Structure 1
Amino acid sequence: QEELAKKQAEALKIQKKNDELRAREEQRHLAKNTRVFELPLSRYKRKDDLKDIAACLGLDLNGKIPELTSRIKAHLDSNSVLQANPRFCGLFG
C-alpha cells in the first residue's frame, strides 16, 4: 500500500515536470518570431533565456550555458546586420 502510494506520487511528480517542460517549449515556440531582447547578451544567465535567444536566431538549443552563450555570440558576431533589428539590437549592448 505504502509502496504504491510512493510510486504514484513519483509518477505525478514526473508528469508535472514533463507538463511544465512542454508548456515552456510551446511558449518558446510561440514567442520566437516576436520576442524582443533588450539586455546585452552578457546579462542573460539563465539557460531558459539563452535557449529563447537561440530559438529566435534559429540556432541549436542543446548544450550547457557556456556552449549556448558562445554559439549565440558567434552568430551575433558573424551577423552584425542584426544590430539594426529592433528585436536583437539590445544583445549587442
Structure 2
Amino acid sequence: MKKQGQWLEEIMYSLVSLGGKGTLEDIYFTIAKRNMIDLDSYVDWKSQVRKHIYLHSSDCDIFRSSIGDEHDLFYPVEEKGKGYWGIRNFYY
C-alpha cells in the first residue's frame, strides 16, 4: 500500500471510530494505538497526519483539488486552527 493511502486509511479509521469527528490528539492516539504504521520511521509522524488532513480538506490552503470532489474528505468542525476535524458526508 502506498504511504499516502495508508495515512488516509488510518485517519479515516480513527475518525470513524470516534463517531465521524475528533481532535487531532484523539486521531494521534488512535493511530498510535492501532500500530499499523511504523511511526518510529518518521521524525515527526504527527505532521504526516496533519498534512494528509490538510491535503484532503477544501478548507485548507494546500488543497489542490475541486471542492466537493472525492479528494475533499475532511472539514474543520470548529473554526480552522482549533484541531477538531470531521469526515465530510459522514453517515453513522
TM-score tier by shorter-chain length is 0.3 to 0.5
Q: Look at both structures and tell me which one has the larger radius of gyration over its CA atoms.
A: 1
TM-score by length of 2: 0.34
